[in-house]
Amino acid sequence: NAGVTQTPKFQVLKTGQSMTLQCAQDMNHNSMYWYRQDPGMGLRLIYYSASEGTTDKGEVPNGYNVSRLNKREFSLRLESAAPSQTSVYFCASKTPDYIGETQYFGPGTRLLVL
């Protein structure tokens, strides 16, 4: 049981390049999330997915797109990277509310946009 996994761990991009951050969970959770965390700051929600086939914007969705490929996988795409998107990106999945909501986070992807 690997929990939540993310790839890649590190990435350096040039302004304007695109990339996709991958996230997968093996806990059969319906809900999945993408957060970003800037140095010294708290987590900010980018997008979330309540179930396979559905996605919704969070607090800071501009410049990002997401795909909920299946129940396990939730990817985050940067179409044209900007230096302001330099951050650490965390993916998370959540247990159902009826058993006590708990979010499980991946190890993070550290992204530097030059």
Partner 1 sequence: DAKTTQPPSMDCAEGRAANLPCNHSTISGNEYVYWYRQIHSQGPQYIIHGLKNNETNEMASLIITEDRKSSTLILPHATLRDTAVYYCIVRGRNSGNTPLVFGKGTRLSVIA
Return the residue of 82, 84, 101, 112 that touches partner 1, per CB under 8 A. Answer: 101
Cβ-based nearer residue to partner 1, 14 or 99: 99
Question: Among 90, 93, 111, 113, which residue sits at the site for partner 1 (rule: CB under 8 A)?
Answer: 90
Contact residue for partner 1 among 1, 14, 42, 62 (CB under 8 A): 42
Q: Looking at 13-21, 68-76, 77-85, 102-110, which segment touches partner 1 (CB under 8 A)? A: 102-110
Q: Least Å distance between CB 21 and partner 1?
A: 13
Nearer to partner 1 by Cβ, of 22 and 103: the residue is 103
Closest CA to 23 of 42, 2, 44: 2
**Going by DSSP bridges, is the β-strand pair 64-68/74-78 parallel, antiparallel, or unpaired?**
antiparallel
Residue type, 58: G
Residue 103 in contact with residue 93, Cβ under 8 Å?
Answer: yes
- Residues 35 and 46: their CA atoms lie apart, in Å, by 5
Partner residues linked to 73 by β-bridges: 24
CB 57 within 8 A of CB 3: no
> Which residues are at the interface with partner 1 (CB under 8 A)?
4, 31, 33, 35, 42-43, 45, 48, 50, 56, 58-59, 88, 90, 92, 94, 97, 100-108
